Structure formats: structure tokens, C-alpha cells
Structure 1
């Protein structure tokens, strides 16, 4: 066992891990931050995206020991300080950018990273950036709209079901 310490969502944390402990497992099991999802165990789906020192990383691809001293942000850290939804989270809600919600944490984290790099992306740029994130429910259209809305761009309101 090895002791690791890092900052997660602005708080100093530490724990004992085996060398093979993945960051996603440390976050979920040791820190009980279960918003970071494990969807595929092969780094294909993107449900486990977190930010490590400001960069998006699939938490299933890195060992907890490798992030010693790093600054980690998970989906739980995306909320406002008062606990209300952050801008991108609210945009996902407002624009129906989720259905089952399983991929949503990774999509939000990827979208936030994109907006940090490119504050006003085009629809094509959003779609290209999300290529490493899989959603089996939505068809991506409203996810893209949500990210564009979070950037402050005008998007069409979500389509409502016929009554």
C-alpha cells in the first residue's frame, strides 16, 4: 500500500492505495465521489472523464499514484459553491442533454474542457471534441446544444413532444 495525496474539488485528500488502483476507483470507492462513472473498463466511453490539473483525462486510464499532488476536479466539483448547478450542468438540464444520465458526468467534464480551450465552439467543433465520449441514449443533438448554450451562444429551444 502506498499513501497518496491530492486536491479533489478544492479539498486536500489522502488515502492508502495499491499500485494497481485506478484513479476512478480511488475517487468512487475511497472518496465516495460516485459521479465519476465506470462504463466500459476499456477507456472507450468517456463516462469517467475528470480534470487533472485542468486537463480532461479518462480516470480509468491512470493510476491513483500517478496523480500524487495533482489538482483533480470531478463532476461534483462543477456545481456552484452554494450547491446549485454550474453553468454547463444547468445547460444540460435546460436543453435536455441527458436521458439515462450515465454518460452525463463525462460529457459535462469534456464540454467544460472544450469551453476552456475554445469559449465559442461551432457545432462541428463540439461534435469533434466529444468523439471520445459515448452516449447510447440521446443521439448527441441536445448534448451539443447544451454545450453551445453554456458558451453563451444562442441555440434553438429544445423540441417538446407533441401533446
Structure 2
């Protein structure tokens, strides 16, 4: 007989109760026990950030946290960011700026991006880069993510220096595309 532990927590504002084995990761409890499949498993060793969720207001890699450690916690997953079916500003900006690429890393990336915005509603580029540094995008869509975050920052009230940062990010993205075209053959690249 497998030992289980009762687990009671709030997920996206709703109380949840599960019986979980002591060695079950929070990621698996959320996906398998809670049916919340937005949080992704990728590396399973805390290197990629695809499984990022908020636990009591702090971002964690849910693949590294045992579910039993979340007993009594307030947990927010990617499914909990939208309100009444409306994307929140970070989610909408990622969509508007084409920052979603294949989509696999995006739930964790958006959770980390939201944590940056929660900490500072008007972050600069360096703060955004630092805030997303624990998340990996295998499609290398970082510049679009940075642009999306700078747009949220601008919308939140900081329009001055952020416009220069946005232009720098766009220039870096264009330069990267041109370098890629030179290295790998012709491609359509806007000038």
C-alpha cells in the first residue's frame, strides 16, 4: 500500500484537496491531480523554467518542489492569470508581439514575466532580462518577449527611456536574423 498525505491548498483562488505520495512533485500534483496542464514539464531538474508557478507570491520551479511542501499555500498557475476569460496585460502583450513561438516555454515565461511586473510595474530592459533569466526558450524568441514586456512597462506609465530600449531590442532582433541568414543561407529579412 502506497502512503499518501492529505494536501490542502488554494490554486488560482479555489480551494483544492488531494491525497499525494510524499515524493510527488508539485508539477505532477497540479497537472495530474488538479487537471491544470498549462504548467509544462520539460527538463524536470529546474533548469528551464517551463514549470514556473507562484507559491505564496514567489515563483518556483514546480518540478523541484514537493507537493507536500505546498500544503496550505496559495498557488497561481498560468490558468489563473486571465480574469473572466480575458488575458491579463502580460499575456496579451506576449500574444500581440508574437512572443509565443512554439508555446512550450510560454506558461513559465509568462509567470516569470508577471512576477517581474508584480515587483516593478515599469521595469527596464536589464530588469526584464534578469527576471526572465531562469527561463529557457528553445525557439530563441527572447527579443519579442523583451519587446512585449517593455510594452507592458510603457502601458503602466513609463514611456521615456523604454522607447529607446524597445528600439535597441528590435535592432538586436533584426541583426540576429541577418546574421542567421548569412550563416545559414538566404531568408526574408526586413531592413
What's the TM-score once normalised by structure 2's chain length?
0.79
Equivalent residue number for residue 63 of structure 1: 66
Match of 2:122 in 1: 120
Find the counterpart in structure 1 of residue 95 from structure 2. 93
From 14, 19, 23, the counterpart of 1:11: 14
Q: Which residue of 1 aligns with 2:151?
A: 149
Residues in 2 aligned to 1:150 and 1:29: alpha-carbon distance in whole angstroms? 33
Task: From the two aligned structures, give the one with the greater helix fraction.
Answer: 2
1:3-37 deviations in whole A, cap 9, x for unaligned? Answer: 10100000000111000000000000011100000
- CA deviations 1:82-110 (Å, max 9, x no partner) are 21211111000001111100000001000
Tell me if the contact between 1:46 and 1:107 (Cα under 8 Å) persists in the aligned partners: yes
Which residue of the partner structure matches residue 136 of structure 2? 134
How far apart are the structure 2 equivalents of 1:85 and 1:95? 14
Mapped to 2, the partners of 1:114 and 1:23 lie a distance apart of 22
User: Normalization by structure 1: what TM-score?
Assistant: 0.92
Q: Structure 1: 5+ residue runs without aligned partners?
A: none
**8 Å contact kept, 1:97–1:138:** no
Separation of aligned partners in 1, 2:145 and 2:35: 27
1:26 aligns with 2:29: yes
Larger radius of gyration: 2
Shift of 1:138: 3.2
Bigger mean CA offset, 65-74 vs 143-152: 143-152
**Deviations, residues 88-142 of structure 1 (Å, cap 9, x unaligned):** 1100000111110000000100000011112111111111211110001133000
Offset at residue 145 of structure 1 (A): 1.1
- Which is bigger in relative contact order (C-alpha 8 A, separation at least 6)? 1
- RMSD between aligned alpha carbons? 1.9
Number of positions where the alignment pairs a residue of Structure 1 with one of Structure 2? 161
**Deviating 4+ runs (over 4 angstroms):** 153-159
Instruction: Give distance in 1, aligned partners of 2:16 and 2:152.
Output: 30
Counterpart-to-counterpart distance in 2, 1:136 and 1:44: 12
For the residues of structure 1 that align with 2:94 and 2:28, how far apart are their CA atoms? 26
How far residue 69 of structure 1 moved from its aligned partner, in angstroms, is 0.6
